[in-house]
């Protein structure tokens, strides 16, 4: 099976950029998994499964800094772009494709 490009994905509008405060997040609930959508200080948007790879802490409740989020349970730092835990910790959480179009946040449907 070949990987799909972002242009062939089906995008779902989940809200306006201003619905998320800078350095904040919101949760998008799907039938499969909760997705945490993050907004950085410079208005970049990222989406991850809302579960830390360590003890499944809700990343949406963590502290956003730079392009990372710190899990509220045990302070693991997770990269927003790739979902990977920063050293010395190991592990990752799944990234969900996200894009910003005309101020609207779009998630790739079915990629959760």
Each residue's pLDDT, cut to its tens digit, for the chain (112 residues) gives 334 455 678 999 999 999 999 999 999 999 999 999 999 999 999 999 999 999 999 999 999 999 999 999 999 999 999 999 999 999 999 999 999 999 999 999 765 5
Of the candidates 67, 61, 83, 66, which has an alpha carbon nearest to the alpha carbon of residue 75?
61
- Domain membership of residue 101 (yes or no) is yes
Whole-prediction pTM value?
0.90
- Domain membership of residue 90 (yes or no) is yes
Q: Hunting for tokens 């502290």 — which residue is that?
A: 63
Diameter of the chain measured on Cα atoms: 39
| Total domains present in the chain | 1
CATH number of the domain at 93, please.
2.102.10.10
């Amino acid at each position: 099976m070949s990987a799909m490009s972002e242009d062939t994905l089906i995008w779902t509008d989940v809200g306006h950029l201003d619905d998320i405060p800078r350095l904040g997040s919101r949760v998008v609930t799907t039938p499969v998994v909760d997705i945490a959508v993050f907004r950085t200080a410079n208005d970049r948007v990222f989406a991850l499964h809302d579960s830390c790879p360590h003890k499944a802490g809700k990343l949406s409740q963590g502290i956003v800094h730079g392009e990372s989020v710190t899990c509220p349970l045990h302070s693991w730092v997770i990269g927003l772009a790739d979902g990977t835990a920063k050293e010395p910790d190991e592990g990752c959480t799944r990234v969900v494709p996200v894009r910003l179009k005309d101020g609207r946040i779009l998630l790739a449907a079915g990629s959760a």
